[in-house]
Structures are given as C-alpha cells and as structure tokens.
Amino acid sequence: MKTKSSPRSKSRNKEVQNLIGLAELRRDHLLEYLHLIQDQFGYISKGHISDLAGLMRIATGEIYEVASFYHHFNLTEKNESEKKICVRVCESITCSMFGATDLINDLAKQLPEKAVIQHVPCVGRCASAPVAVVGKRPVLNATAAKVCTLVNNNITDPSLPDYIKLEDALVDGCYKTFKSCLAKEFTPPQIIQKITDAGLRGLGGAGFSAGKKWDIVRSFSGPRVVAINIDEGEPGTFKDRHYLEKAPHQFLEGMLIAAWAVDASTCFIYLRDEYAACHEMLSMEIEKLRSEFPSQLPDIELRRGAGSYVCGEESAMLESIEGKRGMPRLRPPYIAEKGLFGKPTLEHNFETLYWIPEIIRKGGDEITVLRGRKGLRSFSVSGRVRNPGVHRAPSGITIHELINDYCGGMLPGHKLKAYFPGGASGGILPAGIQNLPLDFDTLQPHGCFIGSAAIIVLSDHDSIPEYALNAMRFFKKESCGKCTPCRVGTDKAVGLMSEEKWDLEKLTDLATVMAEASICGLGQAAPNPLLSTIKYFGDEL
C-alpha cells in the first residue's frame, strides 16, 4: 500500500532539487550537495537526507553515515523553526593560550537565543588568537563584543582578501612557464629534472622528494589525476592560507605545470571548509582561467572539506573527494598507483606547488626548502611572540634565531620555555636544547619532527602538561575511529592525562601501542606531545 507524501515533504523535496539542480547527480559530489543544503537552511534534517537519497537513488543510511562523520554538518531530528547563527570558537593550543575558554563562556551567556556556540579545533588563523567564526566570517583577536556585533547584525559572510587577480598576475609574468610547457619549449622529463635538482620536498609534513613523486606517478599508465591538499588542519599551521590569500595564481600555475608534467586529465583542489573566502576567490579565478586558456587546461574541480582533520592524510582526503567518510586506506596499493577513483594520483600540499613556477624560472637554491641554509622555509609561528605570522627564514634556523630575528622576540614579561616544532603532532621541545636546526631529519633524535613547520611558542607562564593534554584532546576528537589503537588509545590517554598524577608506566605503554599499531599518521603521532612531556618536563608532572 502506497502512502501519500505530505505537502511539506513535497515542498522540501522541491527545495532540495532546486538547490542541487536537474543535471545527473554524481555520487562523488555528495559532500557538495550536503554543503548546499546546510548553506541554505543552516542545518541538515532527516527529511533533507531522505529527499537527497531519493534524488540520488541511494540508501538513506549511506548519506547519513557520511554526513555524521564530518563536524561541520549540523544534523537535526526535525526541521528547525528558527535558523540560529553558528558561532565556532577555536579552543586549540594557541587560542586556548589567549583566552578561548573565557570567550566561549561569555558568548554562551550573551547569545543564548541567537547563536549556537560550538567548541572547535584549529581554524587556521593561530597568529590572531583567539579566533571565532561567525557563520563563515572569521573574527580575529576575538572578543565577545566583536562576535556579538556580527551576530546581532547578521553579518556572516566572509570578506575577500586583497589578492592578486588574474589580470594583474598575467602582467607580472604569471603563467609564462606554463605557456612555455604548452608550447613544448620544455619536455616533462626536463621539468621533472629541474624540480629534482632543486631538491624540493613535500611541504605538507612528509617531506618526500617532489621530483621523485612525479616520476613515480608518470610510470603508471593513465589516465592520471592530481589532488591538492589545502585542508591544513594541523593546530598551529596557517601558511597555505597565508600564501593563497595573496597570490592564488602562483599556486594555480604550479598545479597546472605539475598536471602537464605527469599528463593528468583532472585536478582536484581539496580546500578546508573554514577557508570560505578562499573558496569564493578560487571559484572566480578558476573561471577566469578557463576563459584565458580555452581547451588548454585539465578539468579543475574545487571541493570543500567539512571539518575533519584526518582528511589531511592523503588517502583519507581521496575518500572524502569520492564522497565518502574520510577514513585512511590500507596500503598497498599506494595512491601513486591506485588513488582517486582507482587512477594513478599525484597528491601534493598547496605550498609545494606554490613554489614550482619560481623554482623553474630562478633555480631552486634561493626559493624554498632545499639543502641546509641555502634554502628558505615557511614557518607558521604563533604563541608568546611579539610578531606571530608566516615568516620565511633559512632552513635549519634555530628557535632562538627565529624568535629574535624574525618574530621580534618574546612577548613582554615572557621567557621562552618550550615550543611545538611541528604543530600539535610534532612533539614539544624545551628551550634548553640549544642550536637545534629546524629542518627535515634534524628533530627525530629528540622524539619530534618539523612536519609543516608550525611553531607554537610557550613561555614560563604556561603549563606543559596542560597543552600536551590539549593536543591529545584534539586527537581524540579528530580520530576517524577506523583502527582501535588510535580510537581507544587517544580516549584512554586523555583520561590518564587528566589525572592529577600521571601514571607514567601506563601512558608510556599506551603511547608505544598507538605509535606502532595505528593505521595512519594521526594515531602514530598523537603520543608525541605526551612522550615529550614525560621526557623533558617531568618536574611538572
């Protein structure tokens, strides 16, 4: 017996259909459809999920399991009668250092009727801590008064940065190298050799040779694809957004050169959802680019993440692009052979591609992360320094040189005590370890790594165990849950680290299991701050 649909159900179905359009729906666009619904209504109801499932002709449960995996999708049991503004307040390491807890409490008292206050991990603006995001609009150096003003005036849209647009980029010589590639003034092996000779290594954290990666991907039969990671969810990291907001076309040219060199048919740009202004900016500039190079570009798809740190792991990002839960894949096969949609995939961090045009034009030594102090490195610096931000400094610089020569020294009344050299996962080092070069392969003997070079500076005003616990809480929340060592280990570690006296034997055993048995880098690196605290700051336990 068939049941009749209610008028409200039919109306809602029409709303969802109008949002998505009448074209054939793609399974890998599921996250994009969910974003459209949430952007329009501020939430995703059970009815929306049911209607979307009907339009896509897939199971309701299949959509729900994807939507519920990501933090930014606000799922409700029924349609809300009143749309409240979502205010996300970062409570990660640097924001916590500068009063995030007090801000959250003040906003909860002042905006109970107008806003939903959410505690969230790093939003990629650590140099301006504390940070809140009203709708899609970031509030830097946030105070309750600033946030309340935006909420009360319903100001939730992002403001575009003052960036170099395509017309100005062309005047400055951008895309000359790409045009030379199209004109066959170079061959792909020549370009790859230039990148290899420059010694460019991946700047997302792993540090793998870029040229070698291009060679590996080219060795597998096409069609091939390029996937660019701009998820940048590591607490303390914001360098990609910094460069993207200034010169998006330098990055886009690097992406196109890489795609040409490996003969890729499609480029997928995976951008974290917190970077709403960058999404709007890239959407406009990519359209201009298609007009500038008609029939000469690979397909370019811009995809939004939905609030999941684990999607910074390369295979989890590919799962997310395919419209699934962002859970890391088992290896082998490696993504260079069977990656996105089963195709050979060149995956890169944003900044790695950003420097490609300059390396080819000028040579590598003066550009980026190369050999020792010959090259430069982009450091995201936050915490107890006078001038936080992105600082380009020589690879192998020490923490004291970085703080004093580039960051204007410590804040008044603060003395350097410790620092995270590679974001929340990079461990914690004491100030007393003098003259340690901040570079690839130099920190591992001390139980740390540089990763994406996110430096969080702690002073004598700070408790090291407190921020190690902050980092572990982050990993607990962001664990995808796929493997037991990470899912259970982070939870147990938070409990043990919350005790007044740490059980060092249990914590050390737990850290060993997590590091050796977790599937991906999240669980493997999560114990680093814990172990660093035990090793270097035992007097505080």
Question: In which order are the strands placed within the sheet that holds 345-349?
Answer: 299-304, 264-271, 224-230, 345-349
CA distance 83 to 41: 7
Phi, psi of 364 (to 5 degrees): -80, -30
pLDDT at residue 12, as a whole number: 57
8 Å CB contact between 306 and 73? yes
pLDDT of residue 166: 98
**Cβ atoms within 10 Å, residue 324:** 18
Phi-psi label, residue 258: left if phi above 0, alpha if psi -120 to 50, beta otherwise? alpha
CA distance 514 to 529: 13
Question: Phi and psi for 458 in degrees, rounded to 5?
Answer: -110, 150
C-alpha–C-alpha distance, residues 508 and 504, integer Å: 6
Give Cα 357 to chain centroid, integer Å: 23
Taking alpha carbons only, the member of 81, 101, 82 closest to residue 90 is 101
Query: Contact at 8 Å (CB) between 456 and 450?
Result: no
Eight-class DSSP state of 209: B
Question: The tokens of 426 are what?
Answer: 């990079």
Q: What's the topology of domain 371-459?
A: Ubiquitin-like (UB roll) (3.10.20)
Q: Would you list the domain boundaries of the chain?
A: 7-76, 85-152, 166-362, 371-459, 463-541
- The amino acid occupying position 378 is S
Residues paired with 430 in a beta bridge: 418
The residue assigned the tokens 């814990």 is: 530
166-362: what fold? Answer: Rossmann fold (3.40.50)
Structural domain 85-152, CATH architecture: 3-Layer(aba) Sandwich (3.40)
d(CA 265, CA 259): 8
Q: What is the pLDDT of residues 164-195, one digit of tens each?
A: 999 999 999 999 999 999 999 999 999 999 99
pLDDT in the model for residue 374: 56
Say which CATH architecture domain 463-541 belongs to: Up-down Bundle (1.20)
Q: Which residues contact 394 (CB under 8 A, 6 or more apart)?
A: 373, 375, 376, 377
Partners of residue 88 on adjacent β-strands: 118, 133
Same topology, domains 166-362 and 371-459? Answer is: no
Closest CA to 227 of 148, 336, 332: 336
The pLDDT tens digits for 280-337 are 999 999 999 999 999 999 999 999 999 999 999 999 999 999 999 999 999 999 999 9
User: In angstroms, what CA-CA distances link 319 with 138, 270, 536?
Assistant: 28, 11, 38
pLDDT of 78 reads 65
Paired tokens of 453: 């070079």
Q: Which residue has the tokens 């205010």?
A: 87
The residues that bridge with 60 in the sheet, in sequence order, are: none
pLDDT tens for the 541 residues of the chain, in order: 444 455 555 555 678 888 887 677 999 999 999 999 999 988 999 999 999 999 999 999 999 999 999 999 999 876 654 578 999 999 999 999 999 999 999 999 999 888 999 999 999 999 999 999 999 999 999 999 999 999 999 999 999 999 999 999 999 999 999 999 999 999 999 999 999 999 899 898 788 999 999 999 999 998 999 999 999 999 999 999 999 999 999 999 999 999 999 999 999 999 999 999 999 999 999 999 999 999 999 999 999 999 999 999 999 999 999 999 999 999 999 999 999 999 999 999 999 999 999 999 886 555 444 444 458 899 999 999 999 999 999 989 999 999 999 999 999 999 999 999 999 999 999 999 878 999 988 999 999 999 889 999 999 999 999 999 999 999 999 999 999 999 999 999 999 999 999 999 999 999 999 999 999 999 999 999 999 999 999 999 8
CATH entry 1.20.58.1030 includes domain 7-76: no
Alpha-carbon span 196 to 209, nearest angstrom: 7
Q: What pLDDT, on a 0 to 100 scale, did the predictor assign at position 8? A: 53
